[in-house]
Amino acid sequence: MLREGPQPGGALQVTWSPLAPGDTRDREVASLVACLEALNLPEGTILTLDREERLVVRGRHVTMRPVWQFLLGKGLAPRE
């Protein structure tokens, strides 16, 4: 969880897995969505080795982004 003052400002999940479709991807997405629901946040980011993808799961926006983009300041969870 990222904070903005006393309030949650975002949710960030980090995984080394490339997150190809399957059990690991499903588990990582489900964990992030559960966090978003618990904190009443509309969107979150999963930092991955090399996967880039956008999903909407149970009304929550999930962005998968390669960690190198995050480290170069490309942001967390932009919606286009």
Answer whether residue 17 is part of any domain.
Answer: yes
pLDDT at 75: 60
The answer to whether the beta carbons of residues 29 and 21 sit under 8 Å apart is no
Alpha-carbon radius of gyration of the chain: 12
Instruction: Give alpha helix (H) positions in 1-73.
Output: 23-39, 67-71
* Number of domains into which the chain is organized: 1
pLDDT at 57: 97
Which residues are 46's β-sheet partners? Answer: 13, 64
Positions of the chain with pLDDT under 70: 74-80
Answer whether residue 77 is part of any domain.
Answer: no
Domain residue limits at 48: 2-71
